[in-house]
Structure 1
Amino acid sequence: MSILPFQSDCSELKARAFLLGHYLDLRRLDQFEPLATNPVVVAVSKHGYAVLLRSGAVVLFGVHSDDEAQFIQKLRTLVKEPLDRTEHEELILMIDAERVEGIERERLILINTDIARLQVIADILGKSVLLAEQEARVAAAFDRIEPLANHLQQVGRGGSDARTLIRHIGEALAIQQDMVGRGEVGDKPEVIWERPDLERLYLNLEAEYEIRERQLALERKLALISDTAATLLDLLQNKRSLRVEWYIVILIVVEIALTLYDLFFHAAST
């Protein structure tokens, strides 16, 4: 068990999580020396550390504000698709070897600051900021899809084109991909399999931040968005199919009329 050295007189630490972008390219860590992997832990200052997550989140432990800004600036070269608005989360850690680990009065009690514990905490905080960003995206998607559903209710037909509807479906799929693939929201971190004694800490934090509940709520909303867009797209395609059928019928009628006219013209001329 490797315990990270924070200030000797420090019994309270601040953990701050930031979602910087859609992806952190952890293959380009030449300027950092990892202290651990899966997820990556690096030193930030004499008494501060950071956990870097592939989801685009970084979680800082015991880092002063000046060092925090400089470190995040260094990370910018690793960030893919930076976000316009940075999501963040904060948690106070109380270090006390004599107490039971768990959440107490909005603080997390820890018996020590070994790397594995900080990795578990970073995993939860990283998922929380990722879910916050996805919740904002889903809310915006709802605002765009709601007028289309209202138009269908009031007028009885869809009020958008196929390209717009396909974009709505694509956006819902992209958000799901971010949660499942990029953020691994429904998965336990690898460190839990190596340190099963930390599973209780992980489950307590998961319940505190309502990770599973928020994931399920997002999945329901995304399913509704996809179903609404797919229904409107089906109606639009059926309308177009019916229009094509009418065009075919009209062409047949015109062809018959021309044939009858031709027959009548020839009969009259003879």
Structure 2
Amino acid sequence: MSAIPTASTLESLTARAILLGRYLDPRRLAPFEPLATNPLVVAVPGGGRAVLLRSGAVVLFGVEQLEEATFIEQLRPLVKEPLVQTEYENLVLTVDPGRSEGVERNRVVLTDTETARLQVVADILGKSVLLAEQESRVARAFDRIEPLADRLQRHGRGGSNARTLIRHIGEALAIQQDMVGRGEIGDKPEVIWERHDLERLFLNLEAEYEIRERQIALERKLTLINDTAGTLLDLLQSKRSLRVEWYIVILIVVEIVLTVYELFFHGIPTH
């Protein structure tokens, strides 16, 4: 089994987070020997460790480029809804048992590279790449919904396709599901509840990557998309209901006209 060198032989290493797809099923990772769980940590053949997250992200520690490519290819069959363009983020870790842990000049200082610490770092990096991908999805959704809102403002009518509006609402709900359900944005990693001494490191990293602020900003935008699409859908349905009511009125008027015509030209039938 390969392992990362100890702090006495290593001054720094690179952590690399890669978002591969919408979901990574850890239950199908039987070929990889687990070093820890929640989140799952495995040894990478050739050296280094990897933390595998349900959100579809994998975070590599001390893995060389060739070994990374080989390992990622092994994971691809286990990724559901793979991304066409992957999101990634790098972070330099400085290992120094004589310094306090925290963020210093675009790098993170750790006292050692024990698995629990790497799980905390991986949790934040995994959330960061997930948020980056969700931010891109929300930006694209805004580009599609903006012309509909502009048409409503200028002409008093929005979209004419209910399926398109429902698709906008569904996409917003899917993004929220990815963030809250699979990504667990806003939740602390399970290892924190067992290792309270790592909470300070977690909070420092969470603040550095602005995880909560980015989550709140996304939720506001998703709410706006939902409200806009929902309002346009309600207007469209009201318009259709009004149209049906007019059809009914027209049918009634036609029936009355035909009855009057029948009475006028043929007289009232006698018995």
Number of the residue aligned with 1:266 = 266
1:261 Cα offset (Å): 1.2
Three-state SS of the structure 2 residue aligned to 1:83 is strand
1:30 Cα offset (Å): 2.0
Please identify runs of 4+ aligned residues in structure 1 that moved more than 4 A: none
1:164-210 CA-to-partner distances (Å, cap 9, x unmatched) read 00000000000000000010001111000010110100000000000
Number of the residue aligned with 2:37 = 37
RMSD across aligned positions (CA): 1.4
Three-state SS of the structure 1 residue aligned to 2:267 is helix
1:51-86 CA-to-partner distances (Å, cap 9, x unmatched) read 000110000000011111111011112111100000
1:200-247 CA-to-partner distances (Å, cap 9, x unmatched) read 000000000000000000000000000000010111111111111111
Number of the residue aligned with 2:234 = 234
Q: 1:117 & 1:233 partners in 2: Cα distance?
A: 48
Q: 1:8-87 counterparts in 2 under 5 A?
A: 9-87=9-87
Q: Is the 8 A contact 1:17 1:126 kept in 2?
A: yes
Q: 1:1-270 counterparts in 2 under 5 A?
A: 5-6=4-5, 9-267=9-267
Q: 1:208 & 1:268 partners in 2: Cα distance?
A: 89
* Residue ranges of structure 2 left out of the alignment (5+ in a row): none
Q: Is the 8 A contact 2:95 2:112 kept in 1?
A: yes
1:268 Cα offset (Å): 7.8
Q: Is the 8 A contact 1:51 1:60 kept in 2?
A: yes
Aligned length: 267
1:105-155 CA-to-partner distances (Å, cap 9, x unmatched) read 011000011110000000000000000000000000000000001111111
Structure 1 vs Structure 2: percent identity of aligned residues? 75
Question: Match for 2:5: what amino acid?
Answer: F
Q: Is the 8 A contact 1:15 1:92 kept in 2?
A: yes
Give TM-score, length-normalised by structure 2. Answer: 0.96
* Residue ranges of structure 1 left out of the alignment (5+ in a row): none
Q: 2:22 & 2:157 partners in 1: Cα distance?
A: 37
1:269 Cα offset (Å): 8.8
Three-state SS of the structure 1 residue aligned to 2:170 is helix
Q: 2:25 & 2:120 partners in 1: Cα distance?
A: 21
Q: Is the 8 A contact 1:6 1:62 kept in 2?
A: no
